Each structure stands twice: as C-alpha cells, then as structure tokens.
Amino acid sequence: MYVIHTYKAHEVNVLTVMAYDRFVAICQPLHYHSKMTFRTVLLLLIFAVLYPVCVFGYCFLSTSLPLCGDKLQRIFCTIWSIVELSCVDTVVLNIVGQFVAVTSVFIPLSFVLYTYLHILLVCRRSSSEFRGKALQTCLPHIVTFVNFCISVLCEVSLSQYKTDEAKPVVIVVLSLEFIIIPPISNPLVYGLNLPQIRTVISGYLRVEKLIGSTSFKDSTSTEKS
C-alpha cells in the first residue's frame, strides 16, 4: 500500500518538475540557464523523491485499525480500501488523507495546468516555427500527463464503486489502468521522441518490408517456373 501511493506521488512530482522546466524554457528562454542550474535541478529532484516517502508514512496509521472484513475486490490495496473495512471512526485519518491528497496530487496537477496555460499564451503570440518547436518539446510530457490524469480518474471512479455492486471486470480494468498502463506507455512516449530510436525503428521497418517484398518475388518466380 505504501509503495503504490508513493509511486504515484513520485510520478506526479516528476511531471511537475518537467512542466516547470518546459515553462522556463519556452516562456523565459533567456533566463533558462540562470534558473535551471545544476543545484536547482538537484534540489527539485530530491524534493520530488523525498516528499512522497515522508508524507505517505501516514499509511502506517491504518495498521492499527480494527477491521470488520477481509475482502478486497481489487488487485492492489489502498488506504481508502482499508478505511472502508474499518470498524471505528476514522475522522483523523480522513483529514490527514485529504491534506496529503491536496498537497501531493491536486496542487502539483494545478501547477502543471498553470504552466501550460502560460505556454499556450506565449505560443499564441509567437511564430508558427516557434509553436512547432514548443509542441515538439511539450508533446511527450502532455501525453504522459494526460495518461496520468486518466489513471487518477480511474482510481477515483474505482473508489466510488461499492465493491458488492461493482462488476469484477470493471474493477480489474480500472486497477490495471491505474498501476500498469503509465509505466508501460511512458518509455514508449519518450523513447519514440528520440531521433536515434526513431531512426533505428524506421530502418528496421524498411528492412522487414524489403525482406517481405523479396520473399514475395521469389515465391512468385518459383510458382511461374
């Protein structure tokens, strides 16, 4: 449970740091090297890693809760599912959980939206060449951000279901989107953005196409003979 929560918090923090990097690069290009120094980047990454590790220590508060059941219709465990099974009042835990959710998810996501609003305003006043470069810079991050938001919405939707009424296939699909799809898609999104990888893939596809056409010609010649 602790690993799952910190994993998603790490992801949203890294997305926030990347959004700030693109915001400075596009909206304040002359100040980029003075603002995004090695020390600044190091401090941002340290905060992105250590904050979730510390703040989600509240997950261990749920270990002392007496439970009225032991059945979870999910493929992973979250603190909300434990709270639903508890037999005592969990007001304090709920307040702490709301605070952690706001500071670790909603504020970073709001900041990402804020940076992209400014990027759009700058691109609107710029040339088409500048907009093309900005889109190429931001597109992988936008795709990853949208994918992350979809996974969060899936988890929120899953938390609204009553486990006795929800269909198991719905729970499994929403759980898979939350915990599996982003780690699979992120390397593809950022990998295909690298020219070297695109060149290798294009060369591989051309070779496969050439081999296929050659095999077809050979088989046709053999049939004719």
Closest by Cα among 120, 151, 155 to 135: 120
Does 163 have pLDDT greater than 80? no
Residue-wise pLDDT for 13-63, tens only, equals: 888 998 999 899 888 888 889 989 999 999 998 998 888 888 888 778 777
Residue spans of the domains in the chain: they are 2-193, 195-225
Q: Which carries the bigger pLDDT value, residue 101 or residue 162?
A: 101
Please name the fold of domain 2-193.
Answer: Rhopdopsin 7-helix transmembrane proteins (1.20.1070)
Phi, psi of 75 (to 5 degrees): -95, 0
Q: Which carries the bigger pLDDT value, residue 64 or residue 225?
A: 64
With beta carbons less than 8 A apart as the criterion, state whether 75 and 175 touch: yes
With beta carbons less than 8 A apart as the criterion, state whether 80 and 94 touch: no
With beta carbons less than 8 A apart as the criterion, state whether 52 and 5 touch: yes
Q: Which of 7-21, 53-67, 149-163 has the lowest mean pLDDT?
A: 149-163
- What average pLDDT does the structure give for the chain? 78
List 80's β-bridge partners, or say none.
none
Could you give the percent of the chain with pLDDT greater than 70? Answer: 83
Sign of CA dihedral 110, 114, 117, 123: negative
With beta carbons less than 8 A apart as the criterion, state whether 94 and 83 touch: yes
Does 121 have pLDDT greater than 60? yes
Q: What is the pTM of this model?
A: 0.75
